[in-house]
Structure 1
Amino acid sequence: MKQPLQAALDGLYLCCIWIAGLAILGMSLIIPVGVFARYVLGFGAQWPEPIAILLMVVFTFIGAAAAYRAGAHIAVAMMTDRLPALGQKLCRWAVDLLMMAISLFMIFYGGKLCLETMGQTLADLTWLPVGVSYLPVPVGGLITLIFVLEQLAYGTQYQRAVVCFDHQVEDLGV
């Protein structure tokens, strides 16, 4: 049971990395288009800035879930490294429980925000409901919660290679 589940979670992790990477790529392509339109063509296009902001939200919340699983999130270990083994283990549990609480908060209130703003539209993108622009918040919270539960059940995952479709893809070590 552990092997197929970890392979599925490895796939989810790689999917998060690809989505975050494509979001950065999209921002990197869209922002120069807006600058070119404004300063070379002489008119300010309305769509580049809001699309770039939406891509930044996607990158932030989906990328943060992947960073949590990879152990690449911000961590100040100066104090915890000096604790005895039991103290370090308790701190890891506290971090995981706090991350679980944050994830649940993001899922509940982010989902509520999405539902309550689904009938509104963005001023510059009238075709896009506001609720869709907030969707990365609960989705990122759900993915982070899945990775927190995985870490509680199986331990940290960033010391092993990612296996997806029976092939080693990358080492999660940072």
Structure 2
Amino acid sequence: MQQVNDELQELADELMRKGEELEAEKESLRSRLSQLQEERASSESVEAPSAPSEELGELRSQNETLAMTNEDLSADNDILRAKVEELQAAATTSPSGALSPENDVALRAEVESLAATNEDLSADNDILRARVTKLEKDAAASISSAVAELEIKAVEEAAEAR
């Protein structure tokens, strides 16, 4: 029975580590999102033609979706942490140090559920990474387009001034 408790503790510890890794990844994505928003805001503040409003609307929509997904990920992480703490407490508070067969089955089911949640969180992070990459590319293209249009306008104005 102690071996089962040890295995459950190892699984719980691993799930906690994965949850912390996902939380760090989420923070990294949030930071990158903020950076992209700042870049976009600075490119929008330039008095020059920018990407069509349809494209900007799409970027804003993707931004909102990313923010909502981040909130969902944060909530899932909180649930994951609470379940792991509950698991750890249940595994360590048994008076005899051993779990009943019913508790053992319940804890194993909970660990499997946590593992599935962890996989879902990893998938969500993959989606977030892909969206951030797309936003980066869209922002770079928009900024490049605005810069090119500014350069053309400057050349035209210089030619007119001659």
**Shorter-chain-normalised TM-score: which range?**
0.3 to 0.5
More helix by share: 2
State which structure, 1 or 2, has the greater radius of gyration over its C-alpha atoms: 2
Q: Which has the higher contact order (CA 8 A, sep 6+)?
A: 2
More strand by share: 1
Q: Normalising by structure 1, what TM-score?
A: 0.37
